[in-house]
Amino acid sequence: MFFVLLLAVACRRQVESGDSSVRYVKIVEVEAVDYVDRDFAGMSTADDATTLAFKISGQVAGVDVGKGDYVKRGEVLARLDPRDVELQVASDRSQYIKAKSQFERMSRLLEHEAVSQQEYESAEASFIQARSVYENSEELLSQTKIRAPFAGVVERTYVDTYERVQAGQAILRLVNPLSTTVEFTISEKSMWVLADSTTRYYVTFDNFPDHRFSARLDSYAKTSSDAYGFPVSLKISKQEAEPYKISPGMTCQVTIRTGEESRNVVALPLNAIYAPSQGGTYVWRVTADDEVERVKVELGTPFGRDMVTVSGDIKAGEKVVRAGVYHLREGEKVRIINR
């Protein structure tokens, strides 16, 4: 009886010892990747925006609009005191009329050979010069008013009435209240997607989460002036954007979709990647005999919530360990618990 008991205990220890050599793991199937969506934070910007200024110096007679006012194209926005310019225009007009009269008189006399050709040409030159000065002073008079170059909203005014300003000094800023432009920044690693003709662009605004706008690449800078990335500009069609009244400053998510099929790329969850301290990135592939083998892979771009593209000696449909990757050894026997 005692012998039978000892034999049973020994067998039990043998079973427990055998079970301990098998590690329980969860696996995931390697996915083929037809396309990858990369998400970026973006913001709508003004299609038209300009800071307006007078071309001449003078005293501000009035700023006829305020912050937030909607104005039509050609509407007067601000005025300079025109009196000094009006006096100059009157003086130049007088000189112009005098020179014109003298030139016409010389023309009649020349027909009767009463004056020389030289006297006629001198009167003609004086007339042309006086006309040019008069036209220039009239142009200066028109510059005492700032008119809206396009319909828009006054974003900000910089001066007050009776303030003296210099030529070129900022008076107000005008922006188009409707936007079809979206801007965001992209990292140097992802710049290649912009040159790919198959890349597609989509925009989802926080204010309109149920609608995804199609967009096209408008422009991008090949140099970066700071450490935040390379600025990229997209355009949404006016027909699609108009019903939503998108205005500058709206936050959005930009989705860049790239085709991956031709690049022989597959995808895995990030927690399936094994990156030991010695360096390199690997996955543990489960063989047909339920053993693990370490496979070297190259990481691509993260996408979605927890996925990353990978390339290397790994194929779609193969099974890899997705949990506990840092506790495995080459050739170790495993038991799959989520088969």
Contact 130/99 with Cβ under 8 angstroms?
yes
Q: N- to C-terminal Cα distance for the chain?
A: 43
Rounded alpha-carbon distances, angstroms, from residue 66 to 62, 72, 154, 171, 173:
11, 14, 7, 11, 10
Q: Residue 321 to residues 18, 31, 35, 244, 307: CA-CA distances in angstroms?
A: 21, 14, 24, 47, 14
Phi, psi of 111 (to 5 degrees): -60, -30
pLDDT for 7 equals 41
Pick the CATH number of 22-33+263-336 from 1.10.579.10, 2.40.420.20, 3.40.50.300, 3.30.413.10: 2.40.420.20
Share of the chain above pLDDT 70, in %: 91
Q: Is-above-0.85 flag for pTM?
A: no
DSSP lists the bridge partners of residue 217 as: 234
User: What's the pLDDT tens digit per position in 90-132?
Assistant: 999 999 999 999 999 989 888 888 888 888 899 999 999 999 9
Structural domain boundaries of the chain?
A: 22-33+263-336, 38-48+176-262, 53-81+144-175, 82-143
Enclosing H/E stretch for 84: helix 83-111
Instruction: Name residues whose C-beta falls within 8 Å of residue 322's C-beta, 6 or more positions apart in sequence.
Output: 26, 27, 28, 268, 269, 271, 272
The CATH fold of domain 53-81+144-175: OB fold (Dihydrolipoamide Acetyltransferase, E2P) (2.40.50)
Q: Which residues are 231's β-sheet partners?
A: 185
The predicted structure's pLDDT at residue 260: 60
Per-residue confidence (pLDDT) for residue 65, from 0 to 100: 93
pLDDT of 263-290, one tens digit each? Answer: 567 888 899 999 998 899 999 999 988 8
CATH homologous superfamily of 38-48+176-262: Efflux pump adaptor protein, beta barrel domain (2.40.30.170)
Between 145 and 188, the more confident residue is 145
CATH topology of domain 82-143: Helix Hairpins (1.10.287)
- pLDDT higher for 218 or 1? 218
